[in-house]
Structure 1
Amino acid sequence: MIRQNTVTVDAQHAKVIMKASGNTYPVQFSVKRAADPDQRMELLGTVVDSGQGKVFGWIAKLNEVANSATVKRFPQLEAQADADQEFQVSGYSNGTGAGGTYSCGPLKSAFIPERSKVYLVEFQFIGSRCEQHVYDVTQPDQRISVTSVPAV
């Protein structure tokens, strides 16, 4: 199985986790850091909600293995963010599903990460629409909503 990069938190950086929820449609995530010399969005990869916690464990695991091995889609992506500098995440999903074609996004979230924190950017499928939210998940049992700054 192909493994994605993992990131650790340190005194100068934050960790940003990107996930999808609510459907098994693939979601492409791109990021932009304020300090990047090239201010175009950088494509990080594609995530898929494997159904972990919603279907039998072996089905979710099979989904994860099939997605990572064949099309390099993962349950989550991780990125390191500079503390106190704007970090922007764009999520986008489109393709063909059982109900025909669909498209959602790109949805952009921009926020100022704090040092040594862990953030979750979640692309949520809610019925026929989608939303993207940012949460502080430094404490694993807490999900604190993070206020976005206007994306430029």
Structure 2
Amino acid sequence: MPKKININIEIITYGELNDLAKEDQELLEAAEKATFTSYAPYSNFNVGAALRLENNDIIIGNNQENAAYPSGMCAERTAMYFAGSKYPNTTIKTIAIAARKGEEKEFIPISPCGSCRQAMLEYEVKQDENIRVIMKGTDQIYELSSISDLLPFKFTQKDLFE
């Protein structure tokens, strides 16, 4: 007999930047700023990500495209991989993501792509601590308490070895 499973994900919404804690405002502003230095000549879609580490450092990343499309890299993974390289044993507390089209100043609240979700989940599992996610739009801001909320049917190292 088929059985339904409900997956509940708590999403906190904010109407404006001032509704957030100062450190989250700072993180979102860093993500927004990163969109202005992304390299997106093909998609014209500029994405910025900013991580807050447990030592309070902020690491930014942005999307880097390439004429050979699969060779580019998303903002979230750019930031995560840099943090993993420079601060291999430092916990990532929060990631903020902002995106905008072309030269527009309006931000779009986007969710990370599947590849980024999987890569970010690896860091969350590795550090055994949730990574908060904040996604910025001009009129709406979304907050999730964990990368796992973005990937409820996750694939982790446990699947490989258990």
Q: TM-score, normalised by structure 2?
A: 0.31
Q: Which has the higher contact order (CA 8 A, sep 6+)?
A: 1
Q: Which has the higher helix share?
A: 2
Query: Greater strand percent: which structure?
Result: 1
